[in-house]
Every structure is written in structure tokens, then in C-alpha cells.
Chains A and B, each alone.
Chain A
């Protein structure tokens, strides 16, 4: 493997590590999910599929009620927002 390729791999590994680290921090904490079409739901993030295709949420509050557990497709999601300060406060 060339030096340039090694550098590229190192960057990719670091980025992936950061991504997984943050997702792990978000797990078990309340999140707000902005859906395609303008809807917004909230719940507790339980897990994110390794491929990123689905996320698992508990206590999903929707306009028509609360779902105990729900699987959301990433293709239906615009963004998942988490209150970082709340997460840090919970850990201290």
C-alpha cells in the first residue's frame, strides 16, 4: 500500500471512529428527528444500524400518539438532532 493510500485510510478510519463514537454517545438519550415532508418526531435513540439504513427509537412521540419502539428509515430522515449539553450533563 502506498504512503498516500495509507494516509487516506488513516483519515477514513479516524472519521469513522468519530462517527461511531458520537452515535454511541447519542444512544440512550433524547433526540429530535426531522422527517422528510416537514414532520418532526422525538424519542430516545436506542441504536443505529451499522449500514446506517435504519435507526431504532423508543418512546417515539408522533402527532398521532406515542410508539413504544420504532424503526425509522434513514431515507425518510432529514436530520437527527441531539442536545449535546444534556448528554454531557447526564454523564457527569
Chain B
């Protein structure tokens, strides 16, 4: 089966148990089994989910396998501990699929949190620019993205990023806005 040439059929194999023969650089290829989570159309790599025990509802490991290491992929018909008959729920809800309406209250909390940080930086004479879509640029270099938590600050210069994060740690926590951490 060549998943990469026939993306039409990829959706049929998603979630299904597969066996992947891997090129390990040794004489014999090594097989690995798991449920196919996705096939990347750009890099042609795949991600599989593997289970530890037959009684586990959630997978224990995710394996990212680059295209260069794949010798062959085949559907598994005999299930064992490592895979399930079908597995697709790994906690992601696709934005391209129909999802529940946005939580207005949560969005409001996030918006207030962003404004709080913007006001804090401005009160300390640090320039803050709002780009749109809720993105703020602090000090001309640090981007702050929703939902405005610690890992939502992005900057190419670690020194500046660390200074901004140290400032943020000193911001008092407000009851109606969820804490940063």
C-alpha cells in the first residue's frame, strides 16, 4: 500500500491498525505496529499511536516516523496489545470539522487577560502594539499570542524574552482572570 501516492485512501486508513516496516540501517528491516494517526502530505512522514496493555483506553506512545525510514506499510488484521481496532480520539478537535460553538465567557476572560498585560506593559512605559486577531507586540520584539499564557510569549532574542517574562511574573493575579501559569 502506498499511502503517499493515493491520499484519497488515506482517510480510510486513519485510525486503523497498521504495521510499518522500518529501515533501521541494518540488514533486516524492523516492523512496528500501531494505529495510524496521520500522514503528513508535505513531508510524507507518519505518526502512529501505540498502546502498552490491551486494557488501555489511551495510547502510551506516539511515534513520529520520517518518510526515509519507511520501507512498507500494511494494514493489520490481527490485533494485539500495541494497537486497537480503531483509534482516532487523541484530544484534538479539528478546526476544519464542525465543532461546538466558542465559549463566549472563556473568550472574554482571554481578551481581558490580554488587555491586562498590555496595560501593565504600557504602565511601565513599554511600547505595546496590537496587531489584530488578539496578537500584541511588546517592546517591538516580543509577540504575545492568545490565550496569553507563559508559553504564548515569543521572541527570537532570549535575553529580551527572559526580561519580559520576569516582569510578567511580578504581575498580581486577578480573581476574574485566570492566572498566567
Contact = CB atoms under 8 A, between A and B. Distances in A.
Contacts of B8: 7-8, 11
A12 B41 contact: yes
Interface in B24-48: 24-26, 32, 37-43, 45, 47
A24 to B, nearest CB: 10
Interface of A: 7-8, 10-19, 21-23, 26, 28, 34, 36-38, 50-52, 74-75, 77-85, 88
A38 B25 contact: yes
Given A75-B68, A80-B64, A36 B41 contact: no
B96 A16 contact: no
B23 A22 contact: no
B10 interface: yes
A72 B91 CA distance: 28
| Ranked 4 nearest A-B pairs via Cβ | A52-B43, A36-B25, A18-B38, A19-B40
Contact of A11 (B11, B22, B25): B11
Interface stretch (B54-62, B114-122, B123-131, B162-170): B54-62
27 contacts: A12-B7, A15-B7, A15-B14, A15-B39, A15-B41, A17-B95, A19-B38, A19-B39, A19-B47, A21-B92, A22-B38, A22-B64, A37-B24, A37-B25, A37-B26, A52-B66, A74-B66, A74-B68, A77-B66, A78-B25, A78-B65, A79-B22, A79-B64, A81-B62, A83-B60, A84-B90, A88-B58
Contact of B59 (A11, A12, A50, A84): A84
B27 to A, nearest CB: 11
Contact of B61 (A18, A74, A84): A84
Nearest to A34: B24
B109 interface: no
Contacts of B60: 83-85
Contacts of B40: 15-16, 19, 52
Given A8-B8, A19-B40, 4 more contacts: A22-B92, A75-B66, A78-B24, A84-B58
Nearest to B30: A78
A86 to B, nearest CB: 9
Q: Which of B32, B61, B97 counts the most A-chain CB atoms under 10 A from its CB?
A: B61
B49 interface: yes
B108 interface: no
